Amino acid sequence: MSTEPRPDQVTVPAVFPPVEVAAVGETMVVLCPAPGEPLEHAERVAVSVGGAESNVAGYLARLGHRAAWVSRVGDDPFGRAVVRHVAAAGVRVDQVSVDPGAPTGMYVKDPGPDGTAVHYYRAGSAASRMDPGTLAAPGLAGARVLHLSGITPALSASCRALVEHAVTNRPLGGALVSFDINHRARLWPAEQAAPVLRDLADRCDLVFVGQDEAETLWGSADPMAVRQLLPGPETVVVKDGAVGATALCRDAEPIFVPAPRVTVVEPVGAGDAFAAGYLAGLLRGLDPVRRLRLGHLVAAQALTSSGDNAPVPPWAWFERLIDASADAWSPLDLTGTRATT
């Protein structure tokens, strides 16, 4: 039987204002040896936490929004570490259940000369036991956005049923349903994932997808081809790495905003940061150009920091840049700078 986190796991207030964003998905413990040290020779590893949806919630919280992470963890030290880590970012975790019959998921990084391999230990995890009932929590009532990703339906049949329920039955009432494709080939190959992700995404309101993902999954060579495959959402945002991002809103011309130049320290988590920035812009009532700019600027914080969760500068810094003229934005170069200083 699942229970709420115990008081010794995380301290939360008894009464909350309604959340703005509910982000649903698995977060795991991450073990990583020293840079360049192969895992098989490592004597020590660093312990951290990683999860796409909790990353989005964390960035939204740091941008001043009320975000909740909804998931399930094991009744183990790793589960307590995950909950504590996410809560420390200012994210509500009162809708996280503890499952005494399943472990918290884990992945291990293995640096090598040809890059870093990743080994997952998540089969049968507590989060893989999430199901449609996960979204029945009363603490999610009034959320303006429900954020999901394509990772969750790959975890188990019950997790896929959860996402199907979310996009079809809309259990959070009028909440906008946001979906990041986030295809993970290690979880399911493209030929298996492609039709499922396309069907789920087409029933959402807002979809984020990388141009490279769209090509791998559906052979879509440009944003317009992606939009033709996904006519259902109000908005489809196609990200093209360092080039920029395009918002394709229904009954409107495509809007492309180039990405600012940055010194990349670690690309992991940049897509989650972009989604959080765009969603923050939506919550603040910004127009599509400013939403895309805010997405780029939050992603820049992730790109120029190590780890999945970077600090963010004060809102005034973002506001000054998202309100810049087109001529001032186009050559924007953050290379060699840290916006938080």
15-69 residue pLDDT tens: 668 899 999 999 999 998 887 788 888 889 999 999 999 999 999 999 999 999 9
Q: Please name each of the domains of the chain with its CATH number.
A: 1-9+17-173 (3.40.1190.20)
Residue written as tokens 């989005």? Answer: 56
139 CB-contact burial (10 Å; exposed 0-12 / middle 13-18 / buried 19+) = middle
Calculate the average pLDDT of the chain: 90
Decide if 261 contacts 335 (C-beta within 8 A): yes
Task: Identify the CA nearest to 238 among candidates 216, 263, 255.
Answer: 255
- As annotated, the active-site residues are 272
Decide if 49 contacts 30 (C-beta within 8 A): yes
**Model pLDDT for residues 174-229, shown as the tens digit of each residue:** 999 999 999 999 899 999 999 999 999 999 999 999 999 999 999 998 999 999 99
**Model pLDDT for residues 45-56, shown as the tens digit of each residue:** 999 999 999 999
**pLDDT (0 to 100) of residue 229:** 97
Task: Examine the pLDDT at 103 and tell me if it is beyond 70.
Answer: yes
**pLDDT (0 to 100) of residue 2:** 46
